[in-house]
Every structure is written in C-alpha cells, then in structure tokens.
Structure 1
Amino acid sequence: MKILLTSAGRRGYLVKYFKEVLGNEGEVHVANNTDSTAMLYGDMSVITPLIHDEGYIPFLKKYCQINHIDVIIPLFDIDLPILSKCINEFKEIGVRVIVSNEAFIKICNDKWATYNYLKKNGFYTPATFLNISDVLKAINDGSVHFPLIVKPRWGMGSISIFEADNKEELKVLYEKTKKNINSSYLSFESNQNNKFPVIIQEKLNGQEYGLDIINDLNGTYMTTVVKKKYAMRSGETDQAEIVINRDLELIGKEIGSLTGHIGNLDIDAFSVDGVPYVLEMNARFGGGYPFSHHAGVNLPKAIFLWLKNEPVEQSVLEPEIGVIGYKDIQVIGDGMGVATIQKLKEAINHRNYV
C-alpha cells in the first residue's frame, strides 16, 4: 500500500507514525508546496503547486498514477475542501482520498458556520458576531462583556488572533485583522465573503481541552480522546495530559455520530464552571494528536487496517489515562543522520518530472 500525505509541512511525526505502521507493506509519500522537514522522513517526497493553483489537482493525479499511490490523506485545512471536491476524480484512477464530505469541511473551516452549526445542534459555544455593531448591542444589553477575541473567520493556528479590552481596541483590532488577512494565505478563503472576513467572539474563562473524535472510514463513531491542555504556543498545544472527562466524552460521541466525519475530528473545548463548551472543529489530524498517540492511541494503524478491511481491536484506539506529553523544538540537518540536502533535491526532481 502506498499512502500520500499532502500539505505535510512540519508534521514529520505523522510521516513516521504511518511508516511505522506500514513497515515493509508499503510506502509513505510526502507532498508539500515548498520544501519542508516532513519531506525528510518519507520514502519519497515531492514539491507541488500551490493548493489553489489550477494545476494542483492535475499534478497530484499524475503523481499518483506515476507512483501507484493507493491513498491520499490531506493534513492541512486549506487542502481539505479542494480534495473533498475531487474524491470521485481520484476514485476513477484508483486512489482513495481519506477526507470528510465537502459540506462538513466548509462548516469546520468557517468559524461563523461552526458557531451556527453547534448552536443549532444544542451544544454550548461562545457567543460569536460578524460585525462591531452587533457586538456593541450585546455589550449594551449585558449579554457579553470585554475582553473579546477578534480573529479571522477562515483562520487557523494563531494567525491574527487578538484580544480587545475596550471599544477602541475592538475597532482598531477588527480593522487590523482584516488587513492581516488580505496580506496572508488566508485571503483566498476569506474572499468568499469580503464583507465579513472577521469574527468577534466571547472569551471563555475556564480549563481548555482538546478532543480527538475518531470515526472509521465509513463515518461510524469509534471513540473520543480527551486531553487537558496545560500550555499553548502559536495556536498549538505544547503540553497536555490524557484525562477522563465524561461530559466531554459524551459530547465527542454526539458530535462524531452527528457529523459522520471521516477519521479524526480535532476539537477545541472549554469547561466553564463545569459546563462544557465547544470552540472550534478541524476535520483532520490536529496539532494535539501526537499527545493521543504518545498515550497509546494509533489512528494511523487503525486507518491502515480499515483500508485492508481488517478488524481494529479496541486497544488500538484506547489511550493510557494520566499520560502527560510535551512538545520539543529541535534543529534537523546534516550531521544528524538525515541526508537533508539530498532528500530535498529529490523532492524538487520529482516535481520536475511530474
């Protein structure tokens, strides 16, 4: 079996997880639109056109045909809607794309749509607004209070997220966020609605959690892994502990059953005075998945077995409670047992011949 991980970026750990699972039974190929550290770990790597380039999908299809790829797994929010539109195109050439349906991905990528989806289905979620006038009305009637969070509607990570403590800051940061969106890669999706590219959100004060809500490849709910977050950096979890939280586990089951998503659904949640709130949803492997994996969950193995129509034992997706994980920073380069320059040259060469 040959698996292609797209938009892999710095997710070298995921490449290694899949390589460990496949062993001698397959290959892990890595794609990204620029050279990146994840490429150093793949059996083969390639530099692709930009995701929104009209040549992106034709390039991937040709690469898959040349290299006999069986499965594509996208790893980045922007990649998800593009590949979900093309599931049947890839199916026609014998390639399975592991991605949720386009409609649900749009809900996840659009934080305003996420808010409305969660509210409609009875989940607690922070009050969210599209414009300053609506926020000021809510402040005047006492339903929300400063501080408030200002961020891109189609954002990811911690790009252009600000905290406003008063009306003056709110107005300045709202305009600053719009300006930052237009000068970043967030501009493409934000151009879907130039009038409202920014959201303003109630700030939650409570304990933050991350959930890995795991469904099988048919969208059937399997389990929820709850991680208590102790430290964050640049929008990703730096330190977390695997815990038991029945309220959040129940929410995970309800959401997984409701959405019918494929594979992992990464969720940010809060517990505020004992009430569980859902903040955001990401229909992919999230930055917090390594903490689940460190505690014994092996979703790559489950995916591999599902693809072979083999049963997945409960232990494969069951974490060890109480395990604490930490993210580390390290430099990857020559002299560390990795032929860095050669690997990246190979990726460039693969781009050229495709």
Structure 2
Amino acid sequence: MNLLLTSAGRRGYLVNYFKEALGDEGEVHVGNSTNSTAMKYGDKSVITPLIYDDNYIPFLKNYCQLNHIDAIIPLFDIDLPILTNSKKEFNEIGVSVIVSSKEIIRICNDKWETYKFLISYDFQTPKVFLKISDALNAIEQGNIEFPLIIKPRWGMGSISIFEADNTNELEVLFEKAKKKIHDSYLSYESNQDNQLSVIIQEKLNGQEYGLDIINDLQGKYMNTIVKKKCAMRSGETDTAETVKDEAFELIGKKLGDITNHIGNLDVDAFIVEGVPYILEMNARFGGGYPFSHYAGVNLPKAIVSWLKQEKVDPAVLEAKIGVIGYKDIQIIGDEAINTIQKSEEAIHYRN
C-alpha cells in the first residue's frame, strides 16, 4: 500500500507516523508545492503545482497512477476543498482521498459558517460578527465587551489575528487584517467574499483545550481525545497534557455523529467559568495531534487498517491520561533539502 501526503509542509512527524504504520508493506510519498522539511522523511517526494493551479489535480492523478498510490491524505486546510471536490475523479482511478464531505469542509474552513453551525446545534461558542457596526451594537447592548479578536474568516494559524481594546483599534485593525489577507495565500479562499473576509470574535477568558475527534473512513464516531493546552506558540500548541473530561467527550461524540467527518476533526475549545465552549474546527490532522499520538493514540495505524478493510482494536485510538508532551525544534540543513532535489526518486514539477 502506498500513501501520498499532500501539502505536508513541516509535518515530518506525520510522515514518520505513517511510515511506522505501513512498516515494510508500502511507501509514504510526500508532496508539497515548494521544498519543505517533511519531504526529507518520505520514501519518495514530489514538488507539486500550487493548490489552485489548474494543473494541480491532473498532476496528482498522474503521479498516483505512475507510483501506484492507494490513498491521498491532505494535511492543509486550503487543500481540503480542492481534494474533496475531486474525490470521484480519484476513485475512478482506484485512489481513496481521506477527506470529509464538501459541506463539512465548507463549514470548518469558514469561521462564520462554523459559528452558525455550532449555535444551530446548541453548542456554546463565542459570538461572531462580520461587521464593525454589529459588534459595536452588541457592546452597547451589553452582550459583549472589549477586548475583541479580529481574524480572517477563512484562515489558519496566527496569520492576521489581532486584539482590539477599543473602537479606534477595532476599526484600524479590521482594515489591517483585510490588507494582510489580500497579500497572503489566504486571499484565495477569501475571494469568495472579499467584503466579508474578516470576522470579529468575542474573546474567551479561560483554560484552553484541544480535542481530537476521531471517526472511521465511513464517518462513524470512534473516540475523543482531550488535551489541556499548557503553552502556545504562533497559534499552535507547544505543551499539552491528556486529560479525562466527560463534558468534552460528550461534545466530541455529538460533533462526530453530526458531522460524520472522516478521520480527525481537530477542535479548539475553552472552559469558561466551568462551561465548555467550542472555538474552531479543522477537518484534518491538527498541530495538536502529536500530543495524542505521544499518549498512545495511533490514528495513522487505524487509517491504514481501515483502508485494508481490517478491524481496528479500540485501544489503538485511546490515550493514556496525564501524559504531558512538549514540542521540539530541529534544524535541517541545506544538504537534506538538496538531497530531496537531486534524488532520482523525486519527481519535480516546474511551471
């Protein structure tokens, strides 16, 4: 069995997890639009067209056929809508795409749609506004107060996120966020509605958590892993501890059953005065998954087994409680990247 991880970026750890899951029964191929550190770890690597390039899907299909790829696993939010829209094309050539439905990807990638979805199912979530006037009216009515968070409606990580302490800052930072979005790769999805590409969100004050909500490849709920976030860096979890929390586990099951998502649903959450809140959802492996893996969860192994039509022992998707993990930083020199560039096993795309 051969797997292709697309838009792998710096997630070399996921490449290694899948290599361990496959053992000597297949290869893990790594794709990215530019040279990246994750490519160092793949059995084979390939530089792809940009995600929004017209040649992207034809290139991937050709690559899959040439290299006998059985399944594609996308690792980047922008990749998800493109690949979910192309599932049928890949299925016709015998390639499974491990990605959720178009509707779930649409909801998770759009923070305004996420907000509407969560309140429609009675989840607690911070209030969200698309217009400054609506946020100011809510302040006047006493429904929210400064500070407020300004962030891209279609965005990820810590790009273009600001905190406004007053009306003047709100107006200035709102416009600044729009400009920074326009100048970044976030502009692609934001083109869906340039005038409403920024959201204003109520700031939550409480303990932050991360959830890995796991469904199988048919969208059946399996388990929820709850992690208490102890330290953050650039929008990603730096230190976390696996904990037992029945309230979040119930929320995880409800979300898994409603969404019928595929694989992992990465969820950012808070406890505010004893009440659990859902902040955001990402229908992919999130930056917090390594903490679940370190605590004993092995979703890559489960995915490989499901692709083989094999049953998965529930213990494979259970975490030990009280395990604390810390992210590390490694330096990879030019020689490693150059090895990828010159390798006869790598296929390179050039515009």
Shorter chain as normaliser: what TM range? Answer: over 0.9
Give, in whole Å, the separation in 2 of the partners of 1:351 and 1:71. 20
Alignment deviations for residues 35-93 of structure 1 (CA, whole Å, 9 cap, x no partner)? 00000000000000000000000000000011110100000000000000000000111
Q: Verify: 1:152 aligned to 2:152, yes or no.
A: yes
Give, in whole Å, the separation in 2 of the partners of 1:102 and 1:119. 20
Q: Verify: 1:215 aligned to 2:206, yes or no.
A: no
Match of 1:267 in 2: 267
Residue type matched to 2:241 in 1?
A: E
Give, in whole Å, the separation in 1 of the partners of 2:350 and 2:287. 32
Match of 2:289 in 1: 289
Give, in whole Å, the separation in 1 of the partners of 2:58 and 2:32. 15
Match of 1:30 in 2: 30
1:309 Cα shift? 1.0
TM-score, scaled relative to structure 2: 0.98
1:347 Cα shift? 8.1
Question: Among the aligned pairs, what percent are the same residue?
Answer: 70
SS at 1:46's partner residue?
Answer: strand
Match of 1:121 in 2: 121
Residue type matched to 1:19 in 2?
A: K
Residue type matched to 1:346 in 2?
A: S
Match of 1:91 in 2: 91
Residue type matched to 1:326 in 2?
A: Y
Are 1:243 and 1:321, in contact at CA under 8 Å, matched by a contact in 2? yes
SS at 1:171's partner residue?
Answer: helix
Give, in whole Å, the separation in 2 of the partners of 1:184 and 1:143. 33
Match of 1:345 in 2: 342
1:1-354 pair list within 5 angstroms: 1-333=1-333, 339-346=336-343, 350-352=347-349
Give, in whole Å, the separation in 1 of the partners of 2:88 and 2:342. 32
Q: Give the ranges of 4+ consecutive aligned residues of structure 1 lying more than 6 Å apart after TM superposition.
A: none
Give, in whole Å, the separation in 2 of the partners of 1:63 and 1:204. 45
Alignment deviations for residues 232-262 of structure 1 (CA, whole Å, 9 cap, x no partner)? 1111000000000110110000000010000
Are 1:40 and 1:344, in contact at CA under 8 Å, matched by a contact in 2? no
Are 1:214 and 1:222, in contact at CA under 8 Å, matched by a contact in 2? yes
Give the CA RMSD over aligned residues.
1.4
Call closer, same or farther: CA 1:353–1:179 in 2, change over 3 Å.
closer
Alignment deviations for residues 197-240 of structure 1 (CA, whole Å, 9 cap, x no partner)? 00000000000000000000000000000000011111100000
1:187 Cα shift? 0.3
1:348 Cα shift? 9.6
1:194 Cα shift? 1.3
Give, in whole Å, the separation in 1 of the partners of 2:207 and 2:56. 41
Residue type matched to 1:286 in 2?
A: G
1:314 Cα shift? 1.3
Residue type matched to 2:319 in 1?
A: P
Extract unaligned runs of 5+ from structure 2: none
Give, in whole Å, the separation in 2 of the partners of 1:345 and 1:129. 49
